[in-house]
Structure formats: C-alpha cells, structure tokens
Chains A and B, each alone.
Chain A
C-alpha cells in the first residue's frame, strides 16, 4: 500500500520529457496570445465562434500538419502534402460532377483516401526501402501531384453535386456556445464537418503515437535510427508506415479542403506544406526527429492562425505583415526551443 503511494508521488514529480515540455510551451503561448487578443481587441475574440472559425478555416492545415509531425518525428520530411491536397480536390471535384448517384460521396471519399495512400506508399517505399533522401522524394511527389492536377483540368472545377453542396453547408450548431446578436436573435456557434474531422484526426494520431507500438517505434526511429535497429525494431517498415500515414492524412485533408471550398483548382493549398512544417515546429516538433506531438501541432496551427487573425483585424492588415509575423514567430520558437533544450542538457551535467 505504502509502495503504491510512493509510486504515485514519484509519478507526479517526474519532470516533463522534451516533447511534453515543448508542447506545454506552445499551448501556454497560444493561451497567452489569445487572452491578450481578448483583452485588447475584444470583439470577435470574445465569442466562441472565433475559435470555431480558426478550426473551420484551418481544418485541412491541421490534418496535414499532423501528417508532417508524424513524418518529422520519424526523422523524415514530406513536402508533397500540398500537392496531394490539390490533386485530391481536383480529382474528387471532377468525380462528383460526373457521378450524381447516392453512393458518389462515399466513393469520392474512397478516391481521396486512395490518392493519398498511393502517394504515401510510393514515397515511403522510395525513402525507406531504396533509401533515397526524403526531401528529394517528396519534392518529386509534389511536382507529380501538381502536374497531375493541372493535367486533370487547367481551369478551376466547381462542384455542382447537390448532395455534396448540402454537406458543405451543413454545420454542427451548438446553441449554448452561441451569442445573442444585436437584434436579439440567438446565433449558435457553428462548427463545420471538416473541423470535426480534423479534431478526430488529431485525437486518433495522438493515441496512435502514445499507445500503439508503431507510434513509439516512430519516436525510436527518429531518436536514433541505429539504436532503433539494435533494439529490434523493423526500421524500414516503421519508416514506410510513417509515410503511408502522412499520405493518407494528405488525402483526408484534400477531401476536407473540398468541404470548405467546393472547387478543384491547380493553385489550391499552394504553400500549405510550408505552413504545416512551421506549425509542427511551433508545436514542438524537432526537425532532427524523435521529439514532437500532434496536440502541440494543433496549437501550432492555432498560433499561426491567431496571428493572422489579429493582423487582419489590426491597422496592419496586409499579407506581408502576416508573413513577417509568422516568420518572426517561427524564428522565436526555434530559438526558444534550442535555448530550453540546451539549458536542460546543461542542468543534467
């Protein structure tokens, strides 16, 4: 009995791991930033809908940032995710316009998953079994996906499928989180399907990384590839699976993107791989691998989105200010991470 008590106390006292520490920092910064926005900018920031809008507008980014996080934890990189989003959007838009049957939406979902899976598996094979540099492989994947998108249609393709447009408009309304407008009407908080999917993805991936053997193997792989091999982990398969998951998530992100803006377009999600990398890093993922967390990544996306919102509502409203603020934030986080981690390793000695 006594032992159990001691055990529980020991658990509470255990210092955070590097991954947990970096995630905590980014959650803290998000909360502080949002609180300051509530105090000084008020207005929209006081409504729950504001947070829901951040999720609605960035659902696809949250999903691909999770995909990037998983690959980066394993010590890899995948810059093809934006291309795969645009290809999935275009392919699904064309498919939905050509098939109006009742099963066409589930089939389009399968198509999105199939495209993502094909890209993920293909790149994963090249990276893990043929041992080609992941940056080059996914650069090739990006060009291929963008090229295929334009091949399918040079012009934007708007989705005309009625069932799908109904899906786009459908929102989950939560009235008790809503607010009362000036005319006295209660306006409920609205969450789009895509945002729900994104939150589910984050939850599932967090559980996968924490509790499933594959998830821990990915951390081991990124921590030290040689050690992982010596510890009896199938390093190649683990690496392959991390790319398969990231491909699959890119496909899901593409479909989610279509539910937010129902049109295929060659220039869709043009920079999203870079935003996703930035969000992962701000969320506490190290480019060197082995450290990271999808919950942190969710907050990484929210931090970037909040900065953009704040600037959009401020007198500095211009895209260059948004870019510069995002850049400054990224730089700040990288410096903060290296300071915190080097302070930690000094403390150890």
Chain B
C-alpha cells in the first residue's frame, strides 16, 4: 500500500497541511475512542465522575470537529487537491463527521450512566453492555488504525466486526425485552441500558463507516451501501 505517500509534494507546505489534517483527525479519534470506553465504564463501574468527564470531552470533540472542517475547507480552497490528496481530504472530512457522531453517542451513553447512578442500577444488561462495549471500542481503535496505516484489510475486518455487533445487539434486545416482560417495574431502568446499547451499536456503525472511508481513501472505491461480500470482492478486484 505505497500508493498513498502524502509527503512527496513539490510544495512542502502542502505536505505539512495534509500531515496536519491526519494528525488532528487521529487526535480527535483518540478523544472519541477514550470517550467510548469511558462512557461504557461509567455505566459498568459505575462512575458518575467518569461520565461527567465524557460530557466535558464532548465539547472538546465538537471544537475539534469545527477546526478539522475548517482545515479541510482551507486545503480544498488553497490546493485544489486531486486523486489521493482529494480522497484524503474528503475522507478526513467524512471521518470527522462520523467521529463527531460517535462522540454524540458516547455522550448519550454517559448521560445514561448518570441517570442510572441517580435512579438506581438496572437489574440486567451490564454483561451485554460490557461485551458490546469492548467490541465497539476495538472497532473504533481498528478503524483509526486502518486510517493511520491506510490498511484496507484492517478496514474490512472492522466492517465485518460491525455485523457481529449488530447480532450481539439484537440478541441483547431480545433478552432485555424478555426481562422487561417478566419484571415491568424495571422497565424504565432497563430502558436506560437499552438506550446505551443502542448508542454503542450506532458507534459501531460509525466505525464501520470510517472503515469504508478508509477503503475509499486507499483504493478510490466507494463501498458505501453495499453488502460486505460485494465490498470484499471489489477491494480484491482493484
């Protein structure tokens, strides 16, 4: 994967600009990744302070989104990038949006953690939450790694992971639904868990989106809205 050597432009400033975009994005990704794991921890530990920290970080993530968007716009306006550079800037812009959404979802999870701490713990669902949280966290890390290393294979594996998350989420739903039918008094508390699970599932989706953007960045293929098999076939063919 040596096609993306972003550092050989005649204009060194252009190299620096692109490098800066990449660094900023990875920093923002690091924040979001931390948010995700902290939000899950805040519920499972439970730890309201940690949840509060996630809420605070969310503002930082939003600020970084604005900054990255601005930088992308500037690069587009100044350099009229083409080919890999263009894909780089576009991917950064798209991944930024996904990261920001992930931050929002993590924010929701953190809110649920505070809620659960204030109104009593849910009787069930923590195992599932921890389990899905771990998978999703790993997905986020992998997606960011895939971006950092322009690793298509890793990106595909992230997309595959997303299927697993979806299945885990469905089975957790079924189980919690059954539980709520058994014990209607716990509905409001279990619902909080369900919201949190839902948010984690969404984070997984966004991580999968990031993986797709990485594939676009490296291969120039737009693999959105396609089945996993189709995606893999196209990537191999390229």
Q: Decide whether A and B are members of one complex.
A: no
- Which residues of B are in contact with A by a Cβ distance under 8 Å? none
